Chain A
Amino acid sequence: MSYIKNYIENLNKNSRKALSIFLTAGFPSKNNFIEIARTVLTSGADILELGIPFSDPLADGPIIQTSSTIALKNNTTIKDVFYYTEKLSNSTNKPIILMGYANPIIRYNKNNFMKDAENAGAKGLIIPDVPLEEYDYFFNGCDTNLDIILLTTPTSSNERIKLIDEKSRGFVYCVSVTGTTGIKDYFTKETYENLKRTYSLIKKNKMMIGFGISKADDIINFSQYCDGVIVGSKIIKSILDGYNYEEIGNLISELSTACEMHGN
C-alpha cells in the first residue's frame, strides 16, 4: 500500500483530516528554508509539499510566482530540493511530496530525478503540466516507487475523474476552482457541489483539496468532502509579509486545529 495513502488513512481513523502545507523550496532564502519547513512540520502540518521553482509556473497565481522568482534568484536547483528533502525526511516520518513543472525534471533526466527523489526520501510527485493525456509519454520507462499524484478540476468529467483516480497513487489532488493557486475570499455553491461530486467518484485513493484555501473555516467547510486539504499561497504570503517563525507556527497550528474532526 502507498505510504502516503496509509499515512492519511491513519489520520482519518483518528478523526483528523490531513493538512498538507506547500512551501517553495529555497524561499525566502536558502538559509531560512529548512528552519521554516521544520516550523511547519512541528506546528501541525501532516504532509509537506516542496515546490521546485520554475521560471514559468503556469498553474500558479502571483503569490507562488513571486516565491518561485525569489527562489530562482537564490539559485535554487533540483539538487538543493533533494538536499532539503533528505534533511527533512531524516527527522520526520511525515510524507514529503515534490511539486514541479515538467521542464526542469526532463532537463535533470526523468529517471535520475525519480531515483534521486526516492533516495532523498520523497514519497510523492505532482507535475501540474503533465495531465492524463501525457502521462504515458512522460512516465513510461520510469520505474519508480514515488506516488504519482494527478489533479482533478471542476472541468473534469466524471469519466476523467475515474481515470485520474485509476492512474494516481496515494491521493488525488482535487483543485477546488478553475484558476491558478491563490487565496479565495469565499467559495461558491458550485464549488461545494463539485467537491461532493468528485469525492463520491474517488474510490482507489485518498482525496485532498487544494487551491484557494487559506482559513480554518475553509477547512471545516470542506472537511466532509475530502480526506485532507492543501494550503500554499496563504503560507507563502505570510512569509512575504515578514511573519517570524512563531507567527508562521501559530498560523499552521490554527489550520491544524481545524483539521480535527472531533465533535463535527
Chain B
Amino acid sequence: MKNYTYPDQYGKFGIYGGKFVPETLIPALYELEEAYNNLKEDPSFIDEFNNLQKEYNGRPTPLTFASRLTEYYGKAKIYLKREDLCHTGAHKLNNAIGQISIAKKLGKERIIAETGAGQHGVATATVCAKFGLKCTIYMGEKDIERQKPNVFRMKLLGAEIIPVYSGSKTLKDATNEAIRDWVTNVKNTHYIIGSVVGPHPYPMLVRDFQSIIGKETKEQILLKEKKLPDYIVACVGGGSNAIGIFYPFINDREVKLIGVEAAGYGISTNKHCATLTLGAPGIFHGMLTYLLQDENGQVAEVHSISAGLDYPGVGPEHSFLKDINRVLYSSVTDEEALKAAYLLTKLEGILPALESAHAFAYLEKFIKETNSNEIIIVNLSGRGDKDLSTYMEKFKDKENELH
C-alpha cells in the first residue's frame, strides 16, 4: 500500500470515525483541528515537542534484544520497544505532552481526562503539574479500586480525581463523564483523550503524537539489523500504543502487524473485550467503530484483568485496518496474559504492565510458525509496577506452573 492518507477531510477512515457528538462540542473540535493543523507545521512547536520528548519523557526509548526470551522459544529474534522506560511508566506521556502544548496555545485553563489503568491519568496529571494547569481526572470506581498506586500518584501530582459510579464503573463510564464535563465547560477546558478514540480530530491527533514510537523503532531496527522486522505485535484496548508503533510501517506491506485484544475469561464467555474479534460497527463516544453491543444496540459491559484494555470500543482507524486486512487482530485471555508476564519477568528481568502482557502472550500462539532469520518486535507499552497487587494475588496459582 502506498500513500495511506487517512483520515479524510471529514475525519473518516473509510466509513469509520467521524464526529458523532452533541452540537455543543462541534466548534471545539474545529478549533482543536485548526490549532493542530497550524501547530504541526510550526517549527517552534515541533522543537518544543521534540525537546520535551527527549529531556522530560526520556526518549528515544531503547529497542532491547530479548536474548533469553528468544532462546526460550528458539524461533524468530524478539526485540522489545521499551515504552515502559518512558517517564511515568508507559507510552501515555507521548500524547499528553503533545496535547498539553496545544491546550496552552488555545489558552485553556483547565484540563480534563478519563483514565482506566490510571496511566493516562498519571501522564495528564504530570503534564498539568509541569505546565501549571488545573487537572481533573475521571476514573471508574472499579478501576480506582484495582489501580490504587496510580490514584495516589495523581493526587500527589495535584489532580482532582472524580470517581464514576455509573454503568460498569470502568473506562467506558469514565469517558462518558469526561465528555459530559467537556460539554459543560468547553469554553475554558481542554479534554486530553488518552487513546485513538473519540470524535475527529482526536484519533488522528493521538496517533500522530504516538507515532514517535514507530518512527524510532524503524530507525533502531534498521541500525541493528539492516532490515525491517517481519512482525510487530502490540496490545489493543483503545489502540494508541498499537497505532503508535504500526503507523510508520503501514506502507511497508512486508511487515506483518498484529493487534492483540483482551479475551478476558475467553471469547466464548461474555466476559471479554475483544471488540474487533467479536464486535459489530456502531456509534459510541463520538465515533463510528467496531463496538461490543447487544442485539438492541446497548453497549456491552466488558471484562479484562487489565483496566487499560477494559473498553467496549476501539479506535476507528483499527476498525478500518481490520476491514482492509492490513492488521491482523487476535486476542488472549487473562490467564494467558498473566503467564506471559511472569515469563518475561523471569527471563528478561522486565515486569510488564498487564496490558502489554497481552502482546507477549500472543507470541505463544504464532512464534512456532516463524524461523530464526525472522524478527519480531513487541511493543512493551508500559511497566507493571501499577499492577503489583493483581500480580501478587494471582501469583500463587502460577508459581508452580513456572517451576
What residues make up the interface of A, taking CB atoms closer than 8 Å to B?
54-56, 58-59, 61, 65, 69, 72, 77-78, 101-108, 128-134, 137, 150-157, 160, 164, 175, 178-180
Contact = CB atoms under 8 A, between A and B. Distances in A.
Contacts of B172: 56
A155 B296 contact: no
Interface string B5-33: 00000100000001111111111100000
A230 B310 CA distance: 37
A106 B282 contact: yes
Contacts of A65: 166
B26 A179 contact: no
A107 B282 contact: yes
A154 B18 CA distance: 22
A23 B363 CA distance: 52
A104 B296 contact: yes
Q: Is chain B's interface secondary structure helix, strand, loop, or mixed overall?
A: mixed
Given A103-B297, A129-B286, A175 B20 contact: no
A140 to B, nearest CB: 12
B299 interface: yes
B296 A77 contact: yes
A107 B186 contact: no
Given A58-B176, A151-B22, A152-B23, A133 B283 contact: no
Interface residues of B, number: 35
B282 A153 contact: no
30 contacts: A55-B299, A77-B296, A103-B284, A103-B299, A105-B297, A106-B282, A106-B297, A107-B293, A107-B295, A128-B22, A129-B21, A129-B22, A129-B286, A131-B20, A131-B21, A131-B22, A133-B19, A134-B19, A150-B23, A152-B23, A154-B24, A155-B26, A155-B186, A155-B187, A156-B23, A175-B24, A178-B184, A178-B186, A179-B184, A180-B180
B186 to A, nearest CB: 6
Contacts of A156: 23, 26-27
Interface in B145-202: 166-167, 172, 176, 179-180, 183-187
Contacts of A130: 20
Given A155-B187, A178-B185, A179-B24, 20 more contacts: A54-B298, A56-B167, A58-B176, A69-B166, A78-B296, A104-B297, A107-B296, A128-B23, A129-B20, A129-B283, A133-B19, A133-B26, A134-B18, A153-B24, A155-B24, A155-B25, A160-B27, A175-B23, A175-B24, A178-B184
